[in-house]
Chains A and B, each alone.
Chain A
Amino acid sequence: MYEFNLAALKGYIAALPPALAATVWLSLLAIVCSLALGIVLALMRTNTNRLLRIVGGTYVEVLRNVPLLIIIYLFFFGLPAVGLRLSGWQTSFLALTFASAAYMAEIVRGGLAGVGPGQYEAARSQGMGAFQLYGYVVLPQVIRIAYAPFGNMCVAIVLGSSLASVVGVEEVTTWMHSAGSGSFRYLEAFTVAALAYVVLAQAINGLRIATGRWLLRHRNPGAPL
């Protein structure tokens, strides 16, 4: 029977924190940028202008139905053939951002849809400006509806960052390969790396649940959401 021996990884553990930091950094940037792009896309999809709706809709449909790995390969190996050469990190970041933005767009759109049309009229009739309308009326409701799927999307982005290893980005999965092949202890390296992802994902999950509790803190039982 195989003897599990974590101590064999001792020499490689020092390289884990930078790898974790790389994963977190890549994921965080992708989360922020894909959310921004997703908001733009959601606004395009709900706009009165038909062209904007079509462009936004096409983007979302295409990027939700193509695997992330293919987008990474396309950007890294394919784009140079048409003149655009980006590094492994850049292509992973862009691929992750573009792909996730499609999902963020749907999450934001779902949130916006939850705000009844009557609210816009009521706010305007009260004399609220656009800033007040969006800041006090729309945004809180969107956040309340969208925070949960948004949290799940953040987890998906962290997990998706593992594909960056295919184009040479030094993050947790790459660490696993190096530690495993250097020490010949693949199972231990795999366990540590898997644990790292589980911890990250569950931390985000915990944040999501805590956010949910905080948002509902003023609710009386039975009051409408």
Chain B
Amino acid sequence: MSDLAAVSSYWLLFAKGLGTTIWISWLALLIGSVVGGILAHLRLVPARPVRAVVVGYVELFRSIPPLMLFFGSYYGVSYALGLNLSPFVAATVALSLHASSMMSEVIRGGLQSVDSGQWAAGRASGMTNLQILSLVVWPQSFRVALPPAVGVYIATLKDTAVASVIGYVELTRSGLIVRENTGSSFLVFVIIAAMYFVVCYAISQLGAYWERRFRIVGHK
């Protein structure tokens, strides 16, 4: 197939696209985890307004389609604030916002899985809140939060495909460029789909492996 030969000559572009995809999704997950983690802990404070703000944030960014988030951070921000974000920065901001709302829920689930009896026991032993968190809650939450966190990473990685719409050159846009230059649609999209599948499937298998390894017999 001459199509296959033409498309294969762009293998470097595909590889670069895959690289940027993994890089930006990882970055967004990192930022999203930090922000999400802070938010999840903020939900534990007794002050109602604080919790309301956190819930508002999470619900807002879970209710807006990623496509709109990309448009908003690329065009909307520059309109409202006069800032000129490059496609990379705009895409990272959008992905991080979305990931942070998802990670906030995941981490919250992890924190909640530690039953309140442990908090009481910790306080009775004279531990400060910070000690309880770091010595008792976090190690246990981590096990519970890890499998859904892997899911969030995979979702973020898939969302990077939409970043192609604002011109960021990741795997999907690389595929579109190859399509422009070779005229071959079906083959290019099959290859791109296969690449996403391989990466996401591998990560999900890694997540499943971790889940088995970290599971404590008898624990939920």
Contacts and interface: CB of A to CB of B under 8 A. Distances in A.
Answer yes or no: A and B touching, Cβ < 8 Å.
yes
A197 B161 contact: no
A202 B204 contact: no
Contacts, number: 114
Interface in A25-51: none
A67 B159 contact: yes
Given A77-B189, A78-B190, A186-B79, A65 B65 contact: no
B186 A190 contact: no
A163 B185 contact: no
Contact of A79 (B68, B72, B184, B186): B186
B51 interface: no
B193 A202 contact: no
B201 interface: yes
A161 B165 CA distance: 15
Given A61-B201, A82-B186, A198-B64, A187 B76 contact: yes
Given A197-B64, A198-B63, A74 B201 contact: no
Given A65-B196, A65-B204, A197-B65, A186 B75 contact: yes
B13 interface: no
Given A66-B193, A81-B186, A173 B159 contact: no
Nearest to B162: A69
A80 B44 CA distance: 54
Interface in A194-223: 194, 197-198, 200-202, 205
Contacts of A155: 62-63
B50 interface: no
Contact of B67 (A2, A65, A162, A187): A162
B71 interface: yes
A67 B158 CA distance: 5
B192 interface: yes
B99 interface: no
A65 B197 contact: yes
Contacts of B92: none
A64 B204 CA distance: 10
Contacts of B76: 186-187, 190
A110 interface: no
Interface string A123-154: 00000000000000000000000000000000
A79 to B, nearest CB: 7
Interface residue SS majority, chain A:
helix
Given A2-B79, A65-B197, A74 B189 contact: yes
Interface string B57-86: 001101111111001100110011010000
Given A2-B82, A78-B186, A190-B75, A159 B162 contact: no
A62 B66 CA distance: 21
B79 A194 contact: no
Contact of A69 (B71, B154, B161): B161
A34 to B, nearest CB: 17
Contacts of B64: 159, 194, 197-198
Contacts of B158: 65-68
A184 B164 CA distance: 23
Given A81-B185, A186-B75, A190-B68, A197 B63 contact: yes
Contact of A163 (B162, B199, B204): B162
B200 to A, nearest CB: 4
Nearest to A203: B63
Interface of A: 2, 61-62, 64-71, 73-74, 77-82, 155, 159-163, 165-166, 173, 176, 186-187, 190, 193-194, 197-198, 200-202, 205
- Please give me the 6 A-B residue pairs with the lowest Cβ-Cβ distance, nearest first: A201-B63, A65-B200, A67-B161, A78-B186, A162-B65, A159-B65
